[in-house]
Amino acid sequence: MTSRRQPVDLRTLGYVVVGGALGVFARAVLLAPVDDAAAVPWLTLAVNVVGSFLLGVVVGVLAERHPHARPFLGTGVLGGFTTYSALAVQTAGWLAAPWAALALAAASVLLGALAAFAGLLAGRGLAGRPAAVPEPGEAE
């Protein structure tokens, strides 16, 4: 069986690139003034949890509508705003204190997933759609 590649929509790609730049800028504005290196991992955790919640809202509100808004806001802005790589490096830097590193990593995954779920429910409510979340693989 051969798979067919869909061509890249350059306009959508442009929206993602511009949105990503805006998201990275927003994160930098929030984190740049922080002088305390010990606070940065916790601020990264907070940024990732807030970003997960907002991504849930975007997905819940937009669903399959607005074909350029979702890639701009979700993949672009919020993809640039949140940062798994910084979290991974910060967690690895704490390996001398393995319980703290494990707590940071677990909190990031658990709180991020819960925030995304809450955002999805909030977004669906804002859009006037049923709050029920479809099963994985089920069409919205």
Tell me the pLDDT tens digit for each residue of 34-71: 999 888 888 999 999 999 999 999 999 998 888 889 99
91 belongs to an annotated ligand binding site: no
56 belongs to an annotated ligand binding site: no
User: Does this model's pTM top 0.95?
Assistant: no
Helix axes 84-93, 40-62, angle to 10 degrees: 150
pLDDT digits (tens, 9 = 90+) for 8-28: 888 999 999 999 999 999 999
What is the SS3 string spanning the chain? CCCCCCCCCHHHHHHHHHHHHHHHHHHHHHHCCCCCHHHHHHHHHHHHHHHHHHHHHHHHHHCCCCCCHHHHHHHHHHHHHCCHHHHHHHHHHCCCCHHHHHHHHHHHHHHHHHHHHHHHHHHHHHCCCCCCCCCCCCCC
State yes or no: pLDDT of 1 exceeds 60. Answer: no
User: How many other CB atoms are found less than 10 A from the CB of residue 1?
Assistant: 2
> How does residue 2 score in pLDDT terms, banded at 50, 70 and 90?
low
Instruction: Quote the pLDDT of residue 132.
Output: 65
pLDDT digits (tens, 9 = 90+) for 92-124: 888 888 888 899 999 999 999 999 999 999 999
Question: Domain residue spans in the chain?
Answer: 11-126
pLDDT digits (tens, 9 = 90+) for 28-44: 999 999 999 888 888 99
